[in-house]
């Protein structure tokens, strides 16, 4: 495709070919090549496996799943925090031609029931509990038939498709199979069946369902293929120059693309070592793991890096082994990026941008991009991907002008599971995924995400991008973190509201913040409302939920909605 330099469109390089193997075939090949190299370290479980040992365990679980009578295309849910069994399940389902269904560890009973029934899960792998969530109790409440059923032969009225519930841990629960027992259940016949299945699989087969949801509506099951996520993991790893000598610290959740694709699959496709520091993100174990395991790369969303940098013991850790990493999932404050590069020794840290529906990464900065590029953009288009920025009429905008970011290529999902209507709203007839993100593209092809279309604030006819105001407020010496939203206002349509987390042992007033802005940014960009908070509402992956903030402010201020959120 010939790209006009005046218009916001670009296409990634195609010199490195796409991978056309299945996940199972590629993993088997890498396990043979790197058999003696360390593949997985799980600090909180005391696990340290080579690629050869990992392959043996994957094969055992794969044949064990087949022994349950699962057939190609059957859905297998996993409801657990980061652990070795998560990776085993990811790889075993792929080898068996089963579809892994990622279930958010934060889900409660209503959400779990919806997810399992929406895609018709035949089996569910679950942890006993996580923090205040008792997973075993939740499942028993949804399916009281469990306690009187034969393990592997559940018939529950509320979960009609579910047959097998597989629990982690050594204890036993009535009606449930134990993960270790499943791993030991495979027979020679199951092994022969596996060989036949492997020969029948295609890289274009659906292999993973991940639930995504916006501010309204029920979650949508983004359906991804071997080709989708395997290639995305490979090119992400290539961009940060992963090799078999790298050790990647993965504190981000595996149920999300960040963990299972940018983490697990990026490592596997390059023979690197996966390192899980804890069940869920905690800055102290993350810092300890980087030092003890001499990790060369670290992943996280901005809030995770902020928590690590601001930890009271941060200065006591030797992080000199770090070289690179990825910051993604939310806009990265410039000051945070600078501190990560300098104070955490991550001189080659990159920014990645994407969404679950695109496997996930569409653009990424390069390790040798100037730091000012890496702190101000989300990089350029990924290999074998096309991107464009369009106006509401879906016409290309000029470079430098904001519009909706769209992407097309191998990475775009198959669709939302059993939801043609919402798939059609997201992916147009030409295969372009419409992200809902507002972006600009500069003459060199670097993309900057300026906000969500729904987050853009229109005050008195002026378009205000919250990201721009946030970046300015980060310059205030007392501000540790800030999020800006729009709230309804009768005269101007909307006004800005800033939620601010102050640095420890500092105090500030609303007027002090506004005075900091006066004369330095346009008057219509100065927040009318300022709230000092200890935390922001966010998902388990660290994404800020601005719609929750907006709703709270509308209720607190007694405002009336002036436009749809």
Q: Residue 521's domain is classified under what CATH number?
A: 3.30.300.30
Query: How far apart (Å, rounded) are the C-alpha atoms in residues 292 and 546?
Result: 37
Task: Kindly give, in sequence order, each residue whose CB lies less than 8 Å from that of residue 9, ignoring residues fewer than 6 positions away.
Answer: 1, 3, 386, 387, 388, 389, 396, 441
pLDDT at residue 454, rounded to an integer = 78
Final residue before a domain boundary, out of 212, 236, 270 = 212
**Residue 254 resides in a domain:** no
Query: How far apart (Å, rounded) are the C-alpha atoms in residues 478 and 482?
Result: 11
Residue 248's DSSP bridge partners are 274, 297
Residues in the chain: 565
pLDDT above 70 (res 478): yes
Q: Which of 145-149, 342-346, 501-505, 535-539 has the lowest mean pLDDT?
A: 535-539
pLDDT above 90 (res 18): yes
Final residue before a domain boundary, out of 212, 244, 269 = 212
Q: Is the dihedral of CA 198, 203, 205, 207 positive or negative?
A: positive
Pairing state of beta strands 177-178 and 164-167? parallel
Q: Which domain holds residue 523?
A: 462-557
Predicted model pTM: 0.87
Q: Considering its fold, how many domains does the chain have in total? A: 2
**Residue 293 resides in a domain:** no
pLDDT above 50 (res 564): no
Confidence at 455, pLDDT banded by 50, 70, 90: confident
CB 560: neighbour CB atoms within 10 A? 9
pLDDT at residue 562, rounded to an integer = 41
- What is the percent of the chain where pLDDT is above 90? 82
How far are the Cα atoms of 16, 62, 361, 562 from residue 356, in angstroms, in the given order?
23, 26, 8, 31
**SS3 of 367-388:** CCCCHHHHCCCCCEECCCEEEE
pLDDT above 80 (res 463): no
Final residue before a domain boundary, out of 168, 189, 212 = 212
Contact 456, 465 (CB under 8 A): yes
Confidence at 460, pLDDT banded by 50, 70, 90: confident
pLDDT digits 0-9 by tens, 393-430: 999 999 999 999 999 999 999 999 999 999 999 999 99
pLDDT at residue 522, rounded to an integer = 81
* DSSP codes, 247-303: EEE--S-TTSHIIIIIIIIHHHHHTPEEEE--SS--HHHHHHHHHHHT-SEEEE-HH
SS3 224: strand
CATH code of the domain containing 156? 3.40.50.12780
pLDDT digits 0-9 by tens, 325-383: 999 977 777 888 999 999 999 999 999 999 999 999 999 999 999 988 998 899 999 99
**Residue 221 resides in a domain:** no
**Residue 15 resides in a domain:** no
**Residue 304 resides in a domain:** no
pLDDT above 70 (res 531): yes
Average pLDDT in the chain: 93
pLDDT above 60 (res 486): yes
Q: Which of 171-175, 185-189, 373-377 has the lowest mean pLDDT?
A: 373-377
**Residue 468 resides in a domain:** yes
pLDDT at residue 541, rounded to an integer = 61
How far are the Cα atoms of 304, 429, 434, 449 from residue 465, in angstroms, in the given order?
24, 30, 19, 10
pLDDT above 80 (res 275): yes
**Residue 307 resides in a domain:** no
Helix ranges, 408-464 (H):
420-426
pLDDT above 60 (res 68): yes
pLDDT at residue 184, rounded to an integer = 98
**Average pLDDT, integer, range 94-117:** 93
**Average pLDDT, integer, range 76-104:** 97
SS3 119: helix
pLDDT above 60 (res 317): yes
**Residue 192 resides in a domain:** yes
pLDDT at residue 563, rounded to an integer = 34
The H-or-E segment that residue 29 falls in is helix 23-33
Contact 357, 371 (CB under 8 A): no
**Average pLDDT, integer, range 77-86:** 98
């Amino acid at each position: 495709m010939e790209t006009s330099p005046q218009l916001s469109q670009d296409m990634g390089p195609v010199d490195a070919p796409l991978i056309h193997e299945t996940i199972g075939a590629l993993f088997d090949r890498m396990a043979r090549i790197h058999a003696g190299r360390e593949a997985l370290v799980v600090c909180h479980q005391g696990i340290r496996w080579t690629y050869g040992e990992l392959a043996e365990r994957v094969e055992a679980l794969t044949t064990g799943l087949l022994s349950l009578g699962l057939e190609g295309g059957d859905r297998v849910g996993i409801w657990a925090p980061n652990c070795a069994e998560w990776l085993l399940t990811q790889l075993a389902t792929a080898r068996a031609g089963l579809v892994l269904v990622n279930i958010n560890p934060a889900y409660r009973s209503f959400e779990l029931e919806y997810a399992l029934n929406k895609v018709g899960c035949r089996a569910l792998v679950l942890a006993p509990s996580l923090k205040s969530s008792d997973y075993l109790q939740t499942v028993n409440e949804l399916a009281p038939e469990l306690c009187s059923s034969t393990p592997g032969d559940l018939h529950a009225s509320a979960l009609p498709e579910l047959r097998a519930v597989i629990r982690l841990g050594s204890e036993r629960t009535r009606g449930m199979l134990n993960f270790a027992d499943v791993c030991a259940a495979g027979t020679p016949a199951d092994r022969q069946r596996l060989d036949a299945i492997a020969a029948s699989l295609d890289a274009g087969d659906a292999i993973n369902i991940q639930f995504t949801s916006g501010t309204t509506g029920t979650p949508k099951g983004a359906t991804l293929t071997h080709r989708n996520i395997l290639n995305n993991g490979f090119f992400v790893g290539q961009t940060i120059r992963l090799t078999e000598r790298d050790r990647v610290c993965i504190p981000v959740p595996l149920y999300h693309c960040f963990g299972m694709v940018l983490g697990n699959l990026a490592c596997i496709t390059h023979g690197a070592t996966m390192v899980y520091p804890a069940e869920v993100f905690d800055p102290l174990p993350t810092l300890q793991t980087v030092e003890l395991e001499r990790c060369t790369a670290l992943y996280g969303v901005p809030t995770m890096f902020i928590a690590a940098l601001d930890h009271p013991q941060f200065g006591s850790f030797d992080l000199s082994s770090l070289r690179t990493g990825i910051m993604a999932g939310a806009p990265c404050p410039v000051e945070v990026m600078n501190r990560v590069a300098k104070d955490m020794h991550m001189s080659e840290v990159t920014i990645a941008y994407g969404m679950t529906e695109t496997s996930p990464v569409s653009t990424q900065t390069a390790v040798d991009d100037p730091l000012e590029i890496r702190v101000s953009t989300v990089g350029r288009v990924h290999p074998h991907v096309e991107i464009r920025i369009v106006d509401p009429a879906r016409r290309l905008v000029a470079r430098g002008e904001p519009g909706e970011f769209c992407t097309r290529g191998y990475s775009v999902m198959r669709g939302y599971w059993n939801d043609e209507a919402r798939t059609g709203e997201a992916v147009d007839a030409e295969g372009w995924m419409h992200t809902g993100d507002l972006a600009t593209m500069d003459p060199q092809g670097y993309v900057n995400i300026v906000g969500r279309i729904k987050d853009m604030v229109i005050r008195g006819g002026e378009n205000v991008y919250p990201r721009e105001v946030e970046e300015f407020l980060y310059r205030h010496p007392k501000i540790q973190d800030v999020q800006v939203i729009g709230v309804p206002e009768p005269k101007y349509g909307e006004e800005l509201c800033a939620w601010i987390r102050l640095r420890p042992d500092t105090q500030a007033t609303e007027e002090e913040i506004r005075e900091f802005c006066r004369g330095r940014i346009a008057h219509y960009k100065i927040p009318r409302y300022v709230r000092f908070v200890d935390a922001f509402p966010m998902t388990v992956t660290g994404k800020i939920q601005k719609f929750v903030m907006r709703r709270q402010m509308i209720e607190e201020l007694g405002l009336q909605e002036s436009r749809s959120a």
